[in-house]
Structure 1
């Protein structure tokens, strides 16, 4: 494990949100939003309405910029996010998750909690100097993010689809050369 479970889950959630803006859009309506919530079960206040969906959609470019920033720029972006919110850090344990830190109140808007949780996860990324684990997919036709939490730093693609497409292309190129 590179990071704690809650940090890894937060990074996965942030990458999912960012990638949901790629074509085809996967956070277009409330049904898509329910899919997100099923995959990433946030605790606390969740309104499940169009306004909350719109706030998450609007957050995606900011998350993308935070996740792809250089280390020093990431620090500045994290600090900006933390400065914008009233922080009320407290340790919590819920569901199957052991003790971990919630930095803002559970009744704050979900988009704010997602932003602050992402900022808190990126603190771990900065401290470990592991920003290179968050990259743009290696597929030339894809702009989605790839999150590499593998031990050997081998993940280069955002999804199995992009990985398979590139493996098939490489195979065909080798066969053509042979």
Structure 2
């Protein structure tokens, strides 16, 4: 199943946000939030303060739990998140992005928008029975989340760094034996 462009975008943003909490933490300043916000083409309200940064950092475990949940648990979590936000999905088009779904107002705090957009994306993943697209990094020293958007579902690592670390370790182990 192909995921809609807004589903992919929300999942990519959520995975990067969750993985920013891995060692080393890469979400330590409002400038890093600015870069993440721009990279993932978020629109709407930005407070650009330490409170917003703290709120984003605080939802990383919530998003991790959602992204790693089994299908039934994810469905329950999605329903709860959307109900708490009083989400009202609507089609929007802005900038150069074609029609896609927003479920809360652009005036809502960034954290609420991230939670709702991730929940909406996970609703598509659950409905399409695509939970296997989400996994934990195959590097035993990493707990990063992997979003596998490849056609053959072959992605195993959260980053090139982890893939290289495992490849080098395997090479060195072969050389030793």
TM range (shorter): over 0.9
Q: Which moved more, 1:25-34 or 1:65-74?
A: 25-34
How far off is 1:79 after superposition? 0.8
How far off is 1:139 after superposition? 0.3
The DSSP-based 3-state class of the residue aligned with 1:83 is helix
What is the aligned partner in structure 2 of residue 124 from structure 1? Answer: 124
> How many pairs does the alignment contain?
177
What is the aligned partner in structure 2 of residue 167 from structure 1? Answer: 167
Given the two structures, how large is their TM-score scaled by the length of structure 1?
A: 0.95
Deviations 1:110-140 (A, max 9, x none): 1001000000000110011111111110001
1:59-138 map, 5 Å: 59-138=59-138
The DSSP-based 3-state class of the residue aligned with 1:100 is strand
The DSSP-based 3-state class of the residue aligned with 1:119 is helix
Runs of at least 5 residues in structure 1 that lack an aligned partner in the other structure: none
Runs of at least 5 residues in structure 2 that lack an aligned partner in the other structure: none
The CA distance in 2 between the partners of 1:34 and 1:160, in whole Å, is: 23
The CA distance in 1 between the partners of 2:16 and 2:63, in whole Å, is: 10
RMSD of aligned residue pairs (Cα, Å): 1.2
The DSSP-based 3-state class of the residue aligned with 1:92 is strand
How far off is 1:175 after superposition? 2.8
What is the aligned partner in structure 1 of residue 155 from structure 2? Answer: 155
The CA distance in 2 between the partners of 1:137 and 1:103, in whole Å, is: 30
The CA distance in 2 between the partners of 1:29 and 1:53, in whole Å, is: 7
How far off is 1:168 after superposition? 1.4
The CA distance in 2 between the partners of 1:65 and 1:5, in whole Å, is: 23
Deviations 1:79-135 (A, max 9, x none): 110110122322111122110111111101110010000000001100111111111
Q: Which moved more, 1:113-122 or 1:48-57?
A: 48-57
The CA distance in 1 between the partners of 2:38 and 2:176, in whole Å, is: 44
1:20-31 map, 5 Å: 20-31=20-31
How far off is 1:171 after superposition? 1.9
Q: Which moved more, 1:139-148 or 1:84-93?
A: 84-93
What is the aligned partner in structure 2 of residue 3 from structure 1? Answer: 3
What is the aligned partner in structure 2 of residue 34 from structure 1? Answer: 34
